[in-house]
Structure 1
């Protein structure tokens, strides 16, 4: 039983970094998208 619990916690620990990576990736993509969106807005206003 103890070994199973240790394996379970190890599995959870291994899934946490991937979630953080995914979150950071999503965050960077969203910031990139919003910056492009604001850039397009300013370009349209200039035209």
Structure 2
């Protein structure tokens, strides 16, 4: 985390993020949710629907 001062004596906080890691985490979450919904749609029998 970077901290800095502006020229008027205040302070600001600079937030950085790793976009690739964030996107990968989000895609993995969506994938897991889809797998869960497929299982529930098939009555939990583990058979994949089409």
How would you bin the TM-score normalised by the shorter chain?
Answer: 0.5 to 0.7
Q: What is the TM-score normalised by the length of structure 2?
A: 0.52
Structure 2: gaps of 5 or more residues: 1-15, 45-50
Q: What is the TM-score normalised by the length of structure 1?
A: 0.55
Give the count of matched residue pairs: 29
Greater radius of gyration (CA): 2
CA RMSD of aligned residues (A): 1.9
Structure 1 segments of 4+ aligned residues over 2 angstroms from their partners = none
Q: Which has the higher helix share?
A: 1
Q: Which has the higher strand share?
A: 2
